[in-house]
Amino acid sequence: MGPIPLQRDTVQRPGNHVGQADAQPVARTSLPGNLLAPAAARRFVRAALAEWTGLGLPAAVGFSDRLADDAVTVADELVTNAVVHAGTTVELLFRLEEAAEDEAAALVLEVADHHPARSVRSERPDPVPAADPDDPAEVGRGLQVIAALAERWGITYRTGLKTVWARLPVDDWTALPEAAAEPELRSGLRTAELLAPTARRALRDDADWAGRGALSFLAEASDLLAGQLDEDIVAALAGQLLVPRLADWCAIWLEPENGGPAAVPRLASVWHRDEAETGQLRTVLERDPIRLPERVGTGPVSMPWPGADEDGAGPGADRRSNGRAGAALAYRITAGGRTLGAVLLGREGIARVPDGVTALIEDFVRRVGLAVGAARAYTRQATISRILQRGLLPSKVADIPGVTSSLVYEPSDDGVVGGDFYDIFACPGDRWCFILGDVQGSGPEAAVVTGLARPWLRLLAREGFRVGEVLDRLNRLLLDDAMETAEAAALMVAAAGGQHLTEGGQHLREDGQQLPDGGQPRFLSLLYGEMVPLPGGGVRCTLASAGHPLPLLLRPDGTVRPAAEPQVLLGVVEDVAYESQSFDLAPGDSLLCVTDGVTERRSGPLMFDDGDGLAQALAGCAGLTAEGIADRIKRAVHEFAERPPDDDLALVVLQAQ
């Protein structure tokens, strides 16, 4: 990514008149939603600080080394947070607030993302005041770092937009050497210093790192790495944590998950404190992937300096690359007794890394291994869930003659099999059947019921049973299956040493703990119907709703009415006879079928269908195509609340032609 131009602007402080000299300088830019954005944000912030210093702004004399580093760190964390949680284009605004009567000068950073996939949890009003970093509801990826550095920070939510901001007070300016006493010279030196972040402004205090600094570093690392679901992001974060805190550069290799002894590790991340040298370092390292001997454990191993000519020097001796001397160490990344990769890092200007620092890095690499292992476990589970989900849902739905259809299906979690399912299929006798179901719960338990219900429904429908009869038999099958599960659970309990039942019949061990799948009924809400084309156009529709949100019929004039009567859930009551309703779907009429992920979508205490909200939204869809209706309802559901839906969302629109 090339240099990012500064877009200059001025923001007038409230209460001032136009033309006053203390208008606020502002720099803003847009960054891509990928892993290149944090590095671009760091360069952008340093360039803005250098420009403001060069302009001789009054508040710029307070730009200390610590403030510059803090601003760069805050920008890096906020942009990384936005990329990880949203993956959209990131808007970065950076402004300098001159001192006012009641407040000192400050740097303010605002980072916004669009249509966040997972917004940072917050129950506080908009905008959010300074957050408590110990409040789990407020902790996003790395926000504890922001809370530690910023005087104030918060989150502002708008429709399709989340902005995280932080305010850093400007310090008193730290004196430069005597040669910089003149204001012009001093300003020029500060500008050059800010634009050259690779120069080491202060030597590392290794004694401090090995003492109290280690605890805060490991706590920060654990917070940032925990919960990351992508091993490449774990590697990128690990590099940012090590450089420049504990090393001048580092590289992280990851072993292929299913690779054998001959598998070549993949260079997942390379970081250098001088970003201009990152590409050259990567080129050197890609020529010779790291391989640690099997006998090497998790401790540090002295390695040759990358690109240095082998001269026979012993381990730990100075190596030279590009005229700089230093020491390089490698660590094996492990988790659960398996080798997952390796970390190679280097420190310039020293022949040996202190033991306290090597021990700290070893502890850090152990956390990296746990994070990589967790990310791989999640990836495996998500892959299994996606394969299972594809097997539980039809690869293609049938086209009903004289009817256009549109489907929307959005699981609430990509890594967990959803409880919603659908189907449209042809049956003998010129009939076409449609299904929209919702199994209680999610994950493997819901997948079991879905895997039973959809094939059963197809079989019963193709055997010629009518709508009500199909539901009667499916209800019986679910109850029989639940009874078999309960009996199996009872046998398992007896083998484990006894059980007792609660009043509700829930299986418990003698110690009071609930058993896995303790014989609980498997409930299923279902909308099932069939359509038969009519000679003059349109279709004859017969359907039944078992504990499901009622389907809605939309006429071309905008009138909306329920198309079925409510009935009990499947899998609950044994002696029940399900009834169906029949009606004609004339050309232009539309039938909307949804799961409770639509009707029970929440915004605080309110639900989307409160006050017939779904019917009102559907009434505004008169004249739209089936696809247009589905898209508008989906958009209305998403826009009903600022947070993304937390339940599976499925809807089917059937429109007669």
Q: What single-letter DSSP state applies at residue 136?
A: G
Label residue 414 by pLDDT band (50, 70, 90): low
Average pLDDT in the chain: 77
| Amino acid letter, residue 146 | I
3-class DSSP assignment, residue 613:
helix
Report pTM. Answer: 0.51
Mean pLDDT value across residues 531-552: 94
Q: Would the pLDDT of 654 be above 90?
A: yes
Asked whether residue 25 carries a pLDDT value surpassing 70, the answer given is yes
Q: Which residue has the higher pLDDT, 637 or 203?
A: 637
pLDDT value of position 227 = 75
Mean pLDDT on 59-77: 81
10, pLDDT greater than 80: no
Higher pLDDT, 484 or 30: 30
Domains (ranges, CATH) in the chain? 7-194 (3.30.565.10), 206-385 (3.30.450.40), 393-468+524-656 (3.60.40.10)
**Residue scoring higher pLDDT (181 or 234):** 234
For the chain, the first-to-last Cα distance in angstroms comes to 52
Q: What is the pLDDT of residue 485?
A: 54
pLDDT (0 to 100) of residue 142: 57
Q: Between residues 431 and 448, which one has the greater pLDDT?
A: 431
Q: Please choose, from the candidates 299, 303, 282, the residue with its C-alpha nearest in 3D space to the C-alpha of residue 334.
A: 299
pLDDT in tens, 355-411: 888 989 999 999 999 999 999 988 887 777 777 666 677 878 899 999 999 999 988
Measured between alpha carbons, how far is 323 from 311 in angstroms, rounded to an integer? 16
Res 207: pLDDT: 56
Question: Sheet harboring 590-594: ordered strands across?
Answer: 403-410, 649-656, 590-594, 552-554, 560-562
What separation in angstroms does the CA of 590 have from each of 404, 529, 563, 631? 9, 14, 11, 14
Would the pLDDT of 653 be above 90?
A: yes
Mean pLDDT for the stretch of residues 172-191: 44
pLDDT attached to residue 311: 44
**Confidence (pLDDT) at 503:** 35
Q: pLDDT class for 586, splitting at 50, 70, 90?
A: very high
pLDDT at 12 over 90: no
Q: Is 80 exposed, middle or buried (0-12, 13-18, 19+ CB in 10 A)?
A: buried
Q: What is the mean pLDDT of residues 431-444?
A: 84
pLDDT of residue 147: 77
- For residues 293 and 110, the model is more confident at 110
What residues have CB less than 8 Å from 548, skipping those under 6 apart? Answer: 436, 437, 438, 525, 526, 527, 595, 596
Instruction: Identify the H or E element spanning 448.
Output: helix 444-462
- The answer to whether 240 touches 273, Cβ cutoff 8 Å, is no
* pLDDT of 531: 96
Is the pLDDT at 111 greater than 50? The verdict is: yes
How much of the chain exceeds pLDDT 70, in percent? 74
Strands (DSSP E) found in 401-556: 403-410, 420-427, 431-439, 499-501, 507-509, 524-533, 539-546, 552-554
Q: Does 229 score more than 50 pLDDT?
A: yes
- The pLDDT of residue 382 is 77
pLDDT tens by residue, 448-483: 777 788 888 999 999 989 999 999 999 988 888 765
pLDDT-derived band of residue 631, with 50, 70 and 90 as boundaries? very high
Residue 410, pLDDT score: 87
More confident residue, 627 or 413: 627
Predicted confidence (pLDDT) per residue in 118-148, tens digit: 443 333 334 434 444 344 333 344 577 787 7
With a cut of 60, say whether residue 615 has pLDDT above it: yes
| Residue 268 dihedral angles phi and psi, to the nearest 5° | -85, -30
Are 581 and 591 in contact by the 8 Å Cβ rule? The answer is: no
CB-CB contact of 103 with 19 (8 Å): no
Q: Residue 259: what pLDDT? A: 65
- pLDDT, residue 569, reads 92
List the single range of 16-25, 285-294, 501-510 with lowest mean pLDDT.
501-510
